[in-house]
Each structure stands twice: as C-alpha cells, then as structure tokens.
Amino acid sequence: MITTLSGDTSRLLATVDFVKEQDTATLLPLLLPGLDGPELRALVEHCRFSHAALLVFPSDEAELEAMLTDCGLVGVTPRQPSVVVRERLAVRHRRRAAELDVGIVRRAVVGADGAHRMVEVFALTVPPGSDLDTVATRERERQHETHVGFDVVAPDPLVLRGLCATFARYGATPDGGGYNPHEDGTVFYFGAPAEAKGGYGRVELYVPGDHRDLLAAHLDEHRARQPAETLLRLLTGAWTTQALSTFAQLRVPDAMDGDRAVGVEDLAREVGARPRNLTTLLRYLAMLGAVTEGRDGFRLTGTGALLRDGAPGSMRALALMYGGPFYDSFAGLGHTVRTGQVAFEHHFGENHFDHFARDPLLAELFDQSMAAGAAMFDPVPAHPVLTAAAEASGGATVVDVAGGNGELLGRILTAHPRLRGVLLERPHAVEAARARLDEAGLGARCAFLAGDFADLPAGGDVYVLSRVLHDWDDERCREILRHCARAMPDHADLLVVERVLPSDGSVSLATAWDLHMMCNVGGRERRAEHYARLFADAGLTLVDRSPLPLDGHVLHVRKADPTTE
C-alpha cells in the first residue's frame, strides 16, 4: 500500500502545482482551442477557474488525511459524499453504488495570481484485501475522474445555456453530470476536444442550486453518443412507470418527509413493506429524482411530493391510472398499430368510458387523474374571452362541456365572481362535480346537467371544451362541434383546451399523448391547422390560440361569419 500511496501522492502534488499556476483567461483557450475575443471575454465574465480534481484510493480516512498533509493541503473541510462520482464508478465497473464509499474533500490553494482556488479530491476507500483494488488500478490508468472545474458566477438559466452552447461550439462534448443534494449543486461534465492542451480531458461546470431541468437535456445529448445505453434506458421505461405507481400505491410519499431523511425500517413498518425490497425501490426512485438517499435514510424531493395523496397539485391518481388500467392496455399497442382497433377495448372488452363508469372507484380515480393535470389550467381563467365576459354589464354564463369533476369551471368561477356556470357531464361525474363546487362555495352559481353532447344547453356566453376533442375521431369531433355551433348565440365564444401537435415536429408532450389516445381511447392529438378544418366543417372559425403549461393550448373559436363564406 506504501507504493500505491506514493503514486497517488505524486499525482496529487502535480495537481496542486497546476492549480497554483493557471488562471481562467489562460486555461480556457488551452481547453477550447480557437476560443478568443468576445467569446473568451464572455466566458471569463460568467465562469471562473475554481479547481482541479483527481480520484485517489486511500485505505481509510487516516491515510487520506496523511496524503493531503504531505501535499500541503491542510484544513478542516469535512469529507462529503460524492453522489455523481459514485454513480459513475458503479456504472463503469458494474458495481452496486452502496459498495462504493466515495467522498469529496476540498482544500484551498492560492494561485500565482493571488486567487483562491481548490484542489478537489475524490476518495474511494479501498480497505486492505478489498476486491476494489481492480477498480483502483483501472481508474489510475484511465484517469476518468480527473478534470478541471469552473464555477458559474451567476446561476441564471440563460447564462448556463449560453455557456454550454459555447463549450459545444469549440468542440467540447457532453460527458455526464448530476445533482448533488448534499451540497445543492448541479454538475455538468464535458469531454475536452482532442486537440485540447493542459493535460486534462474533462471539464466541469459547477452551478449552485438545482438545475436538473437543464441537466436533463445535457444528459440526453451525452446518452445519444452512447446508443446502446440510450436504448437500454428507453427499454426500461416500463419499470419507471411501475416504480412510481407502486411508490404512490403503497403511500410511501405520505410517510416521508421533505426536510429530513427517514430510515427504511421505519418506512417499511408504516407502509407494510419488506425493508430490503423497499430499499431497492427507493434507490431506483433516487435515480429518477423522486427521493434522495443519505446516511440516515431517504428524503422526499419536490417531484416525489407530487405523489402524496391530497397534496397541492397531486399527481397520485395519474400515477395509479398509468400504472394500472392504461398500463395493462398499452401491452396491446401492437394490436392497435396492426389492426386500428383500440387496445383498451381489445383488452377490457369495452371502451374506457363505459369501463370506468361501471366501477365507482375506478370512475373516481379517472376523474381525479384528469384533475391531476390541472397545472395546464392555471392561465385559463385570465384568458381575454373570460375576462371580457366577467365585465359584461348583465353578467355572463360559462358552459363547461364534459367538464369532469368541475376543476376547470371552479377555477373560472373563483377568478370571476360575476360569472355563472353550467356543467354538462355523465350522471356520476355530475354528482362529483356538484360536491366539489358546493364544498368550494361555488355551487349556488352553477347549474349541473346530466347528459350527452346532444343535450348541450343553448344561450351561453362562453363554451368550454377542455381535453374533449382528442378523445374522438374526426367525424365524432365534427358532430360535437356542430352541437356547440347550434347552441352558441352569435356573440358567444368557444374555448378549446387541448395539446396541439407542433407543425415542425419538435419535441412535445402532445406527441406522447397522441400515442396514448390512439391506444386507449381511439382518439388523437392534432395540429392547429387540423383543428381549424374541423371547426370550419362545423360552421366555426379559429380566431387565435395561446400556449398553456404542459404543452397545452387554448384555441379561441367563434361562429363563422356567413357573409364571408
């Protein structure tokens, strides 16, 4: 072990000297050849050379401290767990992450320019006689974790996107990264271009805070360069659905805490699970960002908290639906693609509306799952059509067609106290909506009608079709829209809330829901121009559209002017 320690100490001393000698303005052009002028000045303004890093392999904590002292890296900064490097080592060497005791120690170094920087030491503990010796040998040979790091000065998303784009323009390639909850920091790794100088093949951008939204695109690009890994991750998507659904079904999120870690033994007792099996599930969910793992157990993240029962914006019902009936029916996707028959009907023997209506618990779950996407509705009450209706001198009436449990209509009536509402739905859904709006103190301003589209009441001022048309084929959509056109007075407006397929083929949730609707309902998502044709066929015209969260849109529709036809 003395020879090993000497080798690691020599590497560490070279790293200390490098950090002392370099500065941001001279190091960046070495790593990104060709970088000069305004772009170099912009990078120097927004990020600074902060550290160089390497991975060493002490047998224990005392040996690590001795190594640091020999290199003049004295201090009291404690060793912190390294989530990112531990996961990378686990994947690279096909080991369980729990077997790898990887920590980070940062010690200060003063550069020749007087700037204070760090040497970042990753330490994988390799006890005497451990089979981790082979891991240490390979890592010393290949230096995967050796890198130089830059701190992003202002963690603004636009700045971060610009930095990543500049790195890419000068040949750097995405090479992984991760979010470390122990430090609340996000790491973006890049592979330096082949012609880079300075002796470091990897570059890190470290950003304070949680930037997993931007990190996801960075990691996707990294995986795209590794097609086998990408395909394997895609093929395990079904596991993700079931893991999240099981997490919700067992009510584990309700037993967890977002501020402190909870031990697995305590969690298992509360939810009625086996500790070892629950641990396996939670570690998988940690990869997904639903929980984080620490020394004292697991802590719930903001993402995982959305699976709590009754939490604001809860998506628990959606997880149970996607992991339950819709999961079963998706096994028949091939049947739908081959024959055109709806997989849900092929599997359950009836369409999903009838199937859910016959089972009160399933019907309630379906209505709750529809409300689980309510974030899409947030801007709807502020739509100019509704604002203008609320300001009308005699008041106005909003007719919510197939309005589910009243989630959207309730938001509209709450935002505009002078509006009245009418909700048309199936009998069981009408009762659920009545109870919901009564509880919110809105029932006295709303009429409830049980019926079908043919029963649509005339004389309303604003009609709303929210996530209705995508349930049906074109002919049924025309029929529904004709019912709307007949009921609407000439002054009335129709607001259609749907996910709209992008015309340029860009990534959108609408594309995923297009597949879902085909498989489970026999419906489809559509492009804006497709909707415009359906409206025209029913004597209506598309006035404009505005975006909503979750890739939704509001399509503003009015009766066509017969004088222009």
User: Which residues are catalytic, by number?
Assistant: 470
- Asked if residues 253 and 301 have their Cβ atoms less than 8 Å apart, the reply is no
- Asked if residues 245 and 317 have their Cβ atoms less than 8 Å apart, the reply is no
Which residue carries 């779950």 as its tokens? Answer: 365
Ordered strands of the 446-450 beta sheet: 446-450, 419-425, 396-401, 462-466, 493-499, 552-559, 540-548
Q: Check residue 33 and report its DSSP letter.
A: T
Nearest one of 87, 85, 123, 124 to 105, comparing CA atoms: 123
Compute the radius of gyration of the chain from its Cα atoms.
Answer: 29
- β-pairing, 462-466 with 396-401? parallel
Residue 5, C-beta contacts closer than 8 angstroms, at least 6 positions apart: 58, 63, 66, 67
- β-pairing, 47-56 with 116-124? parallel
Count Cβ atoms below 10 Å from residue 549 Cβ, excluding itself.
12
Alpha carbons 370 and 197: distance in angstroms, whole number: 55
Q: To the nearest 10°, report the CA torsion of 480, 482, 487, 489.
A: 130
Residue 527, C-beta contacts closer than 8 angstroms, at least 6 positions apart: 500, 501, 502, 503
Which residue carries 């929980």 as its tokens? Answer: 291
Count Cβ atoms below 10 Å from residue 394 Cβ, excluding itself.
6
Alpha carbons 97 and 343: distance in angstroms, whole number: 39
Alpha carbons 32 and 268: distance in angstroms, whole number: 51
Sign for the CA dihedral angle at 367, 370, 372, 374 comes to: negative
Task: Return the bridge partners of 541, or none.
Answer: 558
Which residue carries 């804006």 as its tokens? Answer: 528
Nearest one of 24, 31, 12, 18 to 175, comparing CA atoms: 31
Q: Is 262 helix (H, G, I), strand (E, B) or coil?
A: strand
